[in-house]
């Protein structure tokens, strides 16, 4: 396959950046999207040009490092799929592909397609954990948890913190991510003692990072590679109101 890529190039955080047209040749449809970029980068290096900087790590859909806005959709055209798990068979020979970094004030561009998602880490540090005295792990079944709760907690815990929800939200809101992290612990007995403080602190951190305000477009749910449901957002809203007004 031969493709016409339009890639965001930005030399550093303070560069203004621009879209650059790059032709990708000898692409096969069993390559992943990132392997396609690897191939393009090899060619660029051979030509003595700067390779395209992009984030990646596990390349198996679990680490949340890969990002990329592909033709106006976060993580590209396949639903429930990270960029690293997207394959070139989703594209046709001769296609034009626009590749851009996540756009959010809270995710400043570091270089080309790489953004700094430290804002997510700071939201996590504000309460995305439980405080326990560590020691041996307790017996597996000593703490009975309803199947429905365990499932709901697990669904929320599947969030890999990629930031696609923010990138695709018309408001640049991080509600799906924060809600996933709040609900994951809020569904479990271990999360109860800090439940009220957790939601208030994490929402305050989210607001302070400069994310926008959710207005229920559900674009996040549509692109989330882990298919986190927008239910978690409703649940966080309820938790926050209860904590902030009653506790």
Partner 1 sequence: MAGEILRHWYHLPPFPGFPPDLSQYPDMQRIARTVQTSIGAKSLMAVTGIALLLFVLVHMLGNLQIFSEPEKINGYAHFLHSLGPGLWIARIGLLVIFVAHVWAAVRTSRASREARQVDYAYKKKDLATSYAARTMLMSGIIVALFLAYHLMHFTLGWVDFAGSHVGKLPLYTLQDGTEVPDVYTMVIQGFQHPLTAITYVIANLVLALHLSHGAASLFQTLGLRNRENAATFTKLGLAVGAIVAIGNCSMPLAILFGIVG
Residues of the shown chain interacting with partner 1 in the complex, contacts defined by CB under 8 A: 6, 8, 19, 69, 71-73, 98, 100, 103-106, 168, 170-173, 203-204, 206-207, 210-219, 221-223, 229-231, 233-241, 244-245
Give the interface size with ligand HEM as a residue count (CB under 6 A): 2
Binding mask 228-247 for ligand FES (x = CB under 6 A): --------------------
Q: CB 23: neighbour CB atoms within 10 A? A: 10
User: Which CB, 24 or 236, lies closer to partner 1?
Assistant: 236
158 binds ligand FES (CB under 6 A): no
Alpha-carbon distance of 52 to 99, in angstroms, equals: 11
For residues 126 and 205, the answer to whether their CB atoms sit within 8 Å is yes
75, interface contact from ligand SF4, ligand FES, partner 1, none, CB < 5-8 Å by kind: none
For residues 209 and 177, the answer to whether their CB atoms sit within 8 Å is no
Binding mask 140-159 for ligand SF4 (x = CB under 6 A): -------------------x
Alpha-carbon distance of 206 to 117, in angstroms, equals: 12
Integer angstrom CA distances of residue 88 from 33, 58, 93: 6, 18, 10
Burial of 26 (0-12, 13-18, 19+ CB in 10 A): exposed
Q: Is 4 helix (H, G, I), strand (E, B) or coil?
A: strand
- Check residue 87 and report its DSSP letter: B
User: Which CB, 29 or 60, lies closer to ligand SF4?
Assistant: 60
62, interface contact from ligand HEM, ligand FES, ligand SF4, none, CB < 5-8 Å by kind: ligand FES
Q: To which residue do tokens 């924060």 refer?
A: 178
Token readout for 228 is 């986190």
Distance of closest approach, residue 178 Cβ to ligand HEM, in angstroms: 17
193, interface contact from partner 1, ligand HEM, ligand SF4, none, CB < 5-8 Å by kind: none
What is the binding site for ligand SF4 (CB under 6 A)?
159-165, 176-177, 180, 224-226, 228
């Amino acid at each position: 396959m031969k493709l016409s890529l339009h890639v965001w190039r930005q030399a550093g955080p303070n560069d203004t950046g621009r879209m650059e047209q790059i032709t990708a040749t000898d692409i096969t449809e069993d390559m992943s999207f990132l392997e396609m970029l690897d191939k393009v980068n090899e060619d660029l290096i051979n030509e003595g040009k700067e390779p395209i900087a992009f984030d990646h790590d596990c390349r198996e859909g679990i680490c949340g490092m890969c990002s990329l806005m592909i033709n106006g959709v976060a993580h590209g055209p396949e639903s429930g799929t990270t960029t690293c798990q997207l394959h070139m068979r989703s594209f046709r020979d001769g296609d034009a592909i626009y590749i851009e970094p996540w756009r959010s004030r809270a995710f400043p561009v570091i270089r080309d397609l790489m953004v700094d998602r430290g804002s997510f880490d700071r939201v996590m540090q504000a309460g995305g954990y439980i405080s326990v005295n560590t020691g041996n792990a307790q017996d597996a079944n000593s703490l009975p948890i309803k199947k429905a709760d365990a499932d709901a907690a697990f669904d929320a815990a599947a969030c890999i913190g990629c930031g696609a929800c923010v990138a695709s939200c018309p408001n640049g809101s991080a509600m799906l991510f924060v809600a996933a992290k709040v609900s994951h612990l809020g569904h479990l007995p271990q999360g109860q003692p800090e439940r009220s403080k957790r939601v208030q602190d994490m929402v305050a951190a989210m607001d302070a990072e400069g994310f926008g305000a959710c207005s229920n477009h559900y674009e996040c749910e549509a692109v989330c590679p882990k298919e986190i449901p927008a239910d978690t957002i409703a649940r966080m809203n309820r938790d926050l109101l209860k904590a902030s007004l009653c506790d």
